[in-house]
Amino acid sequence: MTNTIALEVKNLNAYFGDFRAVKDINLTYHKNTVNAIIGPSGCGKSTYIRCLNRIHEEVEDASVKGEVILGGKNIYAENADPVEVRKHIGMVFQKPNPFPSMSIFDNVTIGPKLWGEKDRTKLEEITENCLKKAALWDEVKDKLHQDGTSLSGGQQQRLCIARTLAIDPPIILMDEPTSALDPIATVKIEDLMNEIKKEYTVIVVTHNMQQARRIADYTSFFVLGDLIEHGLTSDIFTNPKEKKTEDYISGNFG
Amino acid sequence: MKIPYSKQDQYVYTALRFFSLVVVCLLIAIIFQLFMASKLAFDEFGLSFVTDDFWNPVDDEFGALAFIFGTVVTSILALLIAGPVSVFVAIYTNEFLPKKIASVLGLFVELIAAIPSIVFGLWGLYYLAPFVKNFLAPFLKKYLGFLPFFQGSSFGIGILTAAIILAIMIIPTITSVCREVFKSIPNLRKEAALGLGATKYEMVKIAILKPSFSGIMGALVLGLGRALGETMAVAMVIGNNPVISSSLFSAGATMASVMANEYAEADSELHLSALCYVGLLLFVVTFFVNLMARTIVWNNSRKSKR
Amino acid sequence: MKISRKRALKNYFFYTCLILSSIVVIIPLFMVFFFLLQKGGSSLSLDFFFNNPKPVGEIGGGMKHAILGSFYMVGLGSLIAVPLGLVCGVYLSEFGKGKIASLLRFTIDLLTGVPSIVVGIFAYLIFVVSMKSFSAIAGAFALSIIILPIVTRTTEEILKLIPKHVKEAGLALGLPRWKVIVFIVVKGSRSSLMTGIILAISRAAGETAPLLFTAFGSMYLSYSPDEPMASLPVQIYNYAISPYDDWQKQAWAGAFTLIIIVLGLNLFARFYFVRKDIYRSIKKLFTRQTKD
C-alpha cells in the first residue's frame, strides 16, 4: 500500500526565532484525499502547512527542523532545492491574490511560461484546461485578457487555484482558502476541492469545522502547535478519542 | 546551462549588493573629493572663513559670512511667509473644500513644485522685481519704514525679492507634508470637538493644530532645507553683492548663488577652493537640517500610530 | 445656545485667512503661466526650434542646439541613473535589511536632500577636474545624480505596495526569487514605475544649477560627450542675464519651451496613473525631500 502515500511528515518542528510554533508532527497523507487541518486560531496550523512547501522559511527568522518525504525524497534534505519542491507542492492562500496588472490568461500561464513553455497553443490549452478544472472557464472565457484583479473575490480565488493547477503539482496546499469569501463562493470552492481530489492530493487549513466535515476525508486537530488527533473525518467528529478534540468540536473552547 | 535555483538567487542578490555598494562608494568618493578640494581654502582661512565677511577674488581673500548671512536671512524670511500660508492651505484643502475642488487646488500647488527654478528666476527678474521696486517696497516703507528692515531704497532685486521667490517655491513642500500630517488625525477627534459645540476654528485649533504641532515643525524644517539650497531663482534676483545689511531692500548673496555665479569663472586655485569650501558648508548644513526634519517627522508619525 | 460675538468673529477671521491663503498660493502659478504665454509665446517662431544662435546683433537664431543638448544630456543621465535606480530600489524593497541596505538607504536619503548646486560641484570634481574641460558627460553625470535617488525611492515605495502574499504566491508556483521579483513584482508595477521614472526625468530636465559648471554651455550644436554642451536651462540663464533685448526675448521663448516639456512630462506621468494609492506615495516623494 506504500504507493498510495502522497506525503509523509516526520518529526516536523517550525520556529520563529526561538519560539517553537509547530511541535514534533508526524503525519501521513494519502493520494487523492482531502485532508483538513482544524484548530483554534493561533494553533500553528497555518505555520505547519507553510512548512510543507518550504514557504515558511521565507519569513524572517523562521526555521524548520524535521523531514517531509515526497516521492521518497526528503524536501528538507541538504541538496533539496526549495524552488523544485514548490513546483511539486502548490499552494493557495488565504486572500485571493492574482498577480497585479496581469490578465487572466497571463495569471494562469505565468507558471508554465517561466518554467520554459513557449508554445502559444500549448499555453492556451493549459489555460482552458485549468480554468475548467477550477470551474471558472464559463465565467471568463470571453474576457481572458482582462485584468485578473477585475474579477470578484470568489472568482479571483478560483483563478488562483487554476494558476496553481497550471504547474500541475501532485499536492495542493490551501491555507484557509474560503475565509475571505462569501458563502456562495465558499460552496463553489468546496465543490471544486471535491472535484480536483480525483487527480490531486489536497491539504487544507480551515477555521470552519463544518467545512472540514463537508469536504475532508481525513482531519487533523491542532492545539498550540501540537497535533492532538488525526483520523478519518467521521471518526474525529462523531467519536473523538481525545477530550480536547471533543471540547473543541462541541464548542467548549476555541 | 542549468544553474541551481538557490544559486541563481544568490548571484542576483550578490549583483544587487554590488551595485548598491557602488552607489555608496561613489557618494563616499565624492564627499572625500569635496573635502580635498576645500582643503586649500581651509588651510588658508581655517574656521574663521565662517566668521569673516570679506570676499575679494582679486586679492584672493575669502570669508563666507556675507553668504551665510544672505542664505539664513532669505531662508528664514521665506519660511515666515510660506509657513502660515502653507498651513492654511493644507487645512483648507483637507478639512473644508469639497473633494473635487480640493484635488484641483492640490494639483495646482504641486504644479508649483514642478516649475523649474530657472523659470521662477526669469519671472522674478522681469516681473516680481519691478513689482517689489514700484509697489511693495514703497508700501512697506510708508507703513513700516521706522523699522531698520525697510529702509533705504529698493532697486527691485535684493533680499526681499529672493525671499518671496523662495517662499513660493517651498510652499508645495510644506503644504504636502502638512496635509499628510493632518490626514493622520482620526476623524473621531474632529467630530468630538465639534460635538462639544466648538466652532470650526476652535475645532481646527484643538483637534488639528495642537496634536500635529511637531509634524508642522518637521514640515517647516523640510521647507527650510529646500530653501537653503535653492540656487537659480535666488541667483537671478538677489543682486549677488556680498554685503551684510539690515535692510531687506538691499542686494545680497547666498552660498548657492555665489557658487552659481563665480564657479565657472574662478581662475585662481584658492578662489575655486574657497567656493568648494562654501559648497561643503552648504552640504553639511542641508544635511543636518534634513536629518532634523526626518527625525521630527519620523517621531511624529510613530506617535500618531500609537 | 448662541455663539458669543468674539468666537464668531474669530471663526470668521479664520475663514478669511484660509481663503486668502489659497488664493495667494495660486496667484504666482497663474502669473508665471500668463507671462510665459505672453512673452514666450510671442517670441516663439520656427526659427527658434530649427536654428542655432547667431552672433550678437544679428536678428534670428534659435536654441536648436540647446534643446538637442538638453535631450542628449538628460537621455544620457537617465541611461545611467534609471537602471541603477531600479536596481537599488529593488534591493531596498526586497532585501532591505542588513548593513549594506541601511548604508544605501542613508546614501539615497542624503542624495535626495543635497542641493542641486552641490550636485554640480560633485560632477565638477569628478569629471571636469580630471578631464580638464567642461563636458557633456559631466553634465549627464550631474543629472544622473539628480535622477538616481528619486528613481530609487519611488521604486522602493512602489514595490513595497505589492503585498507579501502575492510574492509568496509567486514563490509557491515554484519560481526562484529573482523570477518572482522580475516577472511578477516589477512587471506588475511597470506602469507606476514608469510614472516615477518620467517624473524624475522631468525634474532633471528643468535643472540648471548642476549644469552650470559641468556642461557649461555653448553656442554651437555638438554631439561629442567630451566637449561643453548647451542645454535649454543654462541657455535661458545666460540669455536672461544678458543685456541684449533679442537674447532676453529668446530666453522667454526658451522658458516657454522648457515649461511645456517639463510640465508636459509631469502631467503625462500623473494622469498615466490609475491607482490612487501609488499616486499618493509617489507624490509624497516629489514634494517632500526626505523619508518619513
B5: closest CA of chain A, how far (Å): 6
Residue A237 grid coordinates? 467528529
Phi-psi group of A32: left, alpha or beta (phi > 0 → left; psi -120 to 50 → alpha; rest → beta) = left
Residues linked to residue A16 through DSSP beta bridges, in sequence order: A19, A62
Q: What percent of chain C has pLDDT over 70?
A: 90
Buried b (16+ CB within 10 A) or exposed e, A162-181: bbbbbbbbbbbbbbbbbebb
Q: Does B32 reach chain C within 8 Å, measured CB to CB? A: no
Q: In this structure, is residue A92 part of a structural domain? A: yes
Computed on alpha carbons and rounded to an integer, the radius of gyration of chain B in Å comes to 24
Q: Mean pLDDT across the stretch A79-105?
A: 85
Residues linked to residue A91 through DSSP beta bridges, in sequence order: A173
Specify whether the CB–CB gap between A104 and C190 falls below 8 A: no
Contacts of A24 (CB under 8 A, 6+ apart): A11, A12, A13, A66, A226
Q: What percent of chain A has pLDDT over 70?
A: 98
B3: nearest CA partner in chain A: A81
pLDDT of residue C76: 92
HSE of A6, CA atoms in CB hemisphere, 13 A: 21
Residues B54, B59, B61: CA angle, nearest 5 degrees: 35
pLDDT bin (cut points 50, 70, 90) of residue B83 is very high
Which of C95, C165, C173 to substitute to test the interface with A, most A CBs within 10 Å? C173
pLDDT of residue C273: 59
DSSP at A78: T
Terminal-residue alpha carbon distance, chain B: 52
Please tell me which of the candidates C32, C134, C209 has its beta carbon nearest to residue B123.
C32
CB-CB neighbours of C37 under 10 Å: 12
HSE of B158, CA atoms in CB hemisphere, 13 A: 24
HSE of A193, CA atoms in CB hemisphere, 13 A: 31
CATH number where A44 lies? 3.40.50.300
Contacts of B259 (CB under 8 A, 6+ apart): B231, B275, B278, B279, B282, C117, C120, C121
Buried b (16+ CB within 10 A) or exposed e, B168-195: bbbbbbbbbbbbbbbeebeeeebeebee
Report the mean per-residue pLDDT for chain C: 83
Nearest alpha carbon to residue C219 among C247, C249, C258: C247
pLDDT over 90 (residue B252): no
Residue C14 grid coordinates? 479664520
Measured between beta carbons, which residues in chain C are less than 8 angstroms from residue B17?
A: 91, 95, 100
* Structural domains counted in chain A: 1
Q: Mean pLDDT across the stretch B148-177?
A: 85
pLDDT of residue C257: 87
pLDDT of residue C144: 93
| Cβ within 8 Å, pair C174-A83 | yes
Is B65-305 a domain of CATH 1.10.3720.10? Answer: yes
Residue A57 grid coordinates? 522559511
Q: Mean pLDDT across the stretch A58-77?
A: 84
B262: closest CA of chain C, how far (Å): 10
Contacts of C284 (CB under 8 A, 6+ apart): B176, B180, C157, C292
Nearest alpha carbon to residue A218 among A20, A22, A34: A34
**All chains having 3 or more CB pairs closer than 8 angstroms to chain B:** A, C
Nearest alpha carbon to residue B261 among B240, B284, B292, B290: B240
Nearest alpha carbon to residue C148 among C84, C75, C204, C101: C84
HSE of B108, CA atoms in CB hemisphere, 13 A: 22
pLDDT over 50 (residue B135): yes
Specify whether the CB–CB gap between C87 and C80 falls below 8 A: no
Residues linked to residue A175 through DSSP beta bridges, in sequence order: A205
pLDDT bin (cut points 50, 70, 90) of residue B2 is low
C75: closest CA of chain B, how far (Å): 18
CB-CB neighbours of B142 under 10 Å: 9
HSE of A53, CA atoms in CB hemisphere, 13 A: 32
Residues A207, A209, A212: CA angle, nearest 5 degrees: 95
Structural domain span for residue A37 = 2-249
Residues linked to residue A219 through DSSP beta bridges, in sequence order: A36, A231
Q: Mean pLDDT across the stretch A168-196?
A: 86
pLDDT of residue A253: 66
B244: closest CA of chain C, how far (Å): 23
Which CATH homologous superfamily contains domain C46-287?
MetI-like (1.10.3720.10)
User: What is the predicted ipTM?
Assistant: 0.86
CB-CB neighbours of C112 under 10 Å: 19
Q: State the Cα–Cα distance between residues A86 and A72, nearest whole angstrom.
A: 16
Q: Does B242 reach chain C within 8 Å, measured CB to CB? A: no
Nearest alpha carbon to residue C291 among B167, B288, B301: B301
Residue B86 grid coordinates? 502653507
Residues B144, B223, B133: CA angle, nearest 5 degrees: 35
| Cβ within 8 Å, pair A100-C166 | yes
If you write DSSP's letter for every residue of B254-274 in order, what string do you get?
A: -HHHHHHHHGGG--SHHHHHH
Specify whether the CB–CB gap between C185 and C167 falls below 8 A: yes
Residues linked to residue A229 through DSSP beta bridges, in sequence order: A221
Burial of A43 (0-12, 13-18, 19+ CB in 10 A): buried
Nearest alpha carbon to residue A49 among A170, A175, A171, A165: A175
Specify whether the CB–CB gap between A166 and A131 falls below 8 A: no
pLDDT over 90 (residue A155): no
pLDDT of residue B304: 57
Q: What is the 3-state secondary structure (H, E, C) of C90-152?
A: HHHHHCCCCHHHHHHHHHHHHHHHCCHHHHHHHHHHHHHHHHCCCCHHHHHHHHHHHHHHHHH
Q: State the Cα–Cα distance between residues B233 and B257, nearest whole angstrom.
A: 9
Q: State the Cα–Cα distance between residues A121 and A112, nearest whole angstrom.
A: 13
CB-CB neighbours of B155 under 10 Å: 16
Q: Give residue-wise pLDDT tens across range A4-28.
A: 888 888 888 888 888 888 888 888 8
pLDDT over 60 (residue C64): yes
Q: Mean pLDDT across the stretch B88-115?
A: 87
At B141, phi and psi to the nearest 5? Answer: -65, -40
pLDDT over 60 (residue B306): no
Q: What percent of chain A has pLDDT over 90?
A: 0
pLDDT of residue C290: 39
Q: What percent of chain B has pLDDT over 70?
A: 97
Report the mean per-residue pLDDT for chain B: 84
pLDDT over 80 (residue A56): yes
Higher pLDDT, C60 or A225: A225
Measured between beta carbons, which residues in chain B are less than 8 angstroms from residue C209?
A: 117, 231-232, 256, 260
Q: Mean pLDDT across the stretch B142-171?
A: 82
Nearest alpha carbon to residue B162 among B114, B231, B219: B231
Measured between beta carbons, which residues in chain C are less than 8 angstroms from residue A83?
A: 171, 174-176
Q: In this structure, is residue A115 part of a structural domain? A: yes
pLDDT over 60 (residue C283): no
State the sign of the Cα–Cα–Cα–Cα dihedral A154, A157, A163, A169.
negative
pLDDT of residue C126: 85
Burial of C51 (0-12, 13-18, 19+ CB in 10 A): middle
Measured between beta carbons, which residues in chain A are less than 8 angstroms from residue B5?
A: 81-84
Measured between beta carbons, which residues in chain C are less than 8 angstroms from residue B301?
A: 292
Q: Mean pLDDT across the stretch A87-106?
A: 86
Q: Is A67 helix (H, G, I), strand (E, B) or coil?
A: strand
Judging by DSSP bridges, how do beta strands B61-62 and B55-56 pair with one another? Answer: antiparallel
| Amino acid, single-letter form, for residue B23 | V
A13: closest CA of chain B, how far (Å): 23
Q: Does C275 reach chain B within 8 Å, measured CB to CB? A: no
pLDDT of residue B87: 92
Residues linked to residue C283 through DSSP beta bridges, in sequence order: none
| Cβ within 8 Å, pair A87-C169 | no
pLDDT of residue C288: 46
Q: Does B269 reach chain C within 8 Å, measured CB to CB? A: no
Residue C208 grid coordinates? 540648471
Q: Mean pLDDT across the stretch B5-30?
A: 87
Measured between beta carbons, which residues in chain C are less than 8 angstroms from residue B25?
A: none
| Cβ within 8 Å, pair A86-C163 | no
Q: How many residues does chain A have?
A: 254
pLDDT of residue A3: 66
Q: Give residue-wise pLDDT tens across range B205-228.
A: 888 888 888 888 888 998 998 899
pLDDT of residue C1: 53
Specify whether the CB–CB gap between C167 and A104 falls below 8 A: no
Q: Does B4 reach chain A within 8 Å, measured CB to CB? A: yes
pLDDT bin (cut points 50, 70, 90) of residue B104 is confident
Q: Which of A29-43, A148-162, B79-93 has the highest mean pLDDT?
A: B79-93
pLDDT bin (cut points 50, 70, 90) of residue C88 is very high
pLDDT over 80 (residue A2): no
